[in-house]
Amino acid sequence: MRIRPTPVRATPVHLIPDFPGPPYSGRVTTGGRAIEHGYPHLDTVRAAVHALFKRLSYDTVRTFDTSVLPVDVAFGEEEDLHLGAQRVAGALVRQLHLPDARAVITFRGMEHAANVELTAGPEYFIELNDRFRTHRKDIGAALAHEVTHVALHRLDLAFPGTRDNEILTDTAAAYLGAGWLLLDAYREHGPFSQKLGYLTPEEFGYVLAKRARFFGEDPAPWFTSPQAYDAYTAGAARARQDLRRPPLAGAGWAARLRYAKDRRAAQDPRRTGRPPATAEGYAFEGPSPLRVSFPCPACHQRIRVPVRGRLQARCGLCKTLLDCDT
């Protein structure tokens, strides 16, 4: 892994406070403006999952098959603040397979939730907002985002632009087993709300559902926030839609009808040029022999198969076996 020798300050994670107090920077704040919902960053999230598999490989991704457990990041009220924060940071460092080194945690007043210095090591320097002195339950969530910044930095994996890079960080945290903490920090209580990270709650749920299907690990019992559980349920429903897009055999009848119409058009001998990808993501290539390409529902690598009816295809990147009806 390539390590940049000079320290870099990562863009801090946004904090939306759940109590009246000093203003905090972020796209959403208390008092009149609602937390953003839905899937506005879905294309970037999918690109981030794909980038993880490309950079790490299938075999390495499989080593993240167990998430960080609630018992390892729980923070007791009687526990020393700094020692407890270092203990939680250590659990996240191990979860993300970083070199085992001391995490130096400091607290100070600032408008963001946390900052991290991206250095060659060996120590990890993380600043947390002073609010976490009394809101210790969410220390693990803030640290999950910052430690993931360190992991991606050491992998030399980044997206261009601050927005996309932060979405990559949240997606990596969730997919590699640390980011369920970020979703669990999402709460709405009347006019006061809190959300950590840059993904919407439903987008966190979407990534966690993708992880749950790939690893066979369900994070639902770990959520202490009812709103987080609801967001996970919504995200899981959206993730299931990826399994019902043609030419996958599980596609719905309406999607199958559209696919058949597009297939007939692609086979028309009068057609010239390659038709663009459809809204469902598939694209035909040919016409003879006609082939169709489509994104893998697990890792979003494009798969190309011949158009010849029912068949099975295995994604070369994530090894997922897919039933298709081409």
pTM (2 d.p.): 0.88
Residue 33 has pLDDT above 90, yes or no: no
Q: Report, as an integer, the average pLDDT of 199-208.
A: 98
pLDDT of residue 254: 95
Residue that wins the pLDDT comparison between 128 and 189:
128
pLDDT of residue 118: 79
SS3 of 158, please? Answer: coil
pLDDT of residue 80: 94
Classify residue 249 by burial, with Cβ atoms within 10 Å: 0-12, 13-18, 19+. middle
Residue 71 has pLDDT above 70, yes or no: yes
- Residues 276 and 21: their CA atoms lie apart, in Å, by 51
- Residues 246 and 253: their CA atoms lie apart, in Å, by 10
- Give residue-wise pLDDT tens across range 112-170: 889 998 776 678 899 999 999 988 999 999 999 999 999 999 999 999 999 999 999 99
User: How confident is residue 189, by pLDDT bands cut at 50, 70 and 90?
Assistant: confident
Percent of the chain whose predicted confidence (pLDDT) is above 90: 73
Q: For helices 42-56 and 162-175, give the axis angle rounded to 10 degrees.
A: 60
Q: Report, as an integer, the average pLDDT of 81-85.
A: 94
pLDDT of residue 191: 67
- Give residue-wise pLDDT tens across range 273-316: 566 667 789 999 877 789 999 999 999 999 999 999 999 999 99
User: How confident is residue 30, by pLDDT bands cut at 50, 70 and 90?
Assistant: very low
Residue that wins the pLDDT comparison between 129 and 21:
129
- Tally the residues of the chain: 326
Name which of 8-22, 106-120, 197-211 the model is least confident about.
8-22
Residue 32 has pLDDT above 50, yes or no: no
Q: What DSSP element (H or E) covers 154? A: helix 139-155
pLDDT of residue 274: 62
pLDDT of residue 122: 77
pLDDT of residue 245: 95
What phi and psi values does residue 302 have, to the nearest 5 degrees? -75, 135
Q: Report, as an integer, the average pLDDT of 240-259.
A: 96
Token pair for 87: 């203990």
Residue 86 has pLDDT above 60, yes or no: yes
pLDDT of residue 18: 35
Residue 22 has pLDDT above 60, yes or no: no
Residue 5 has pLDDT above 80, yes or no: no
pLDDT of residue 76: 81
Classify residue 100 by burial, with Cβ atoms within 10 Å: 0-12, 13-18, 19+. exposed
pLDDT of residue 215: 98
Average pLDDT of the residues of the chain = 87
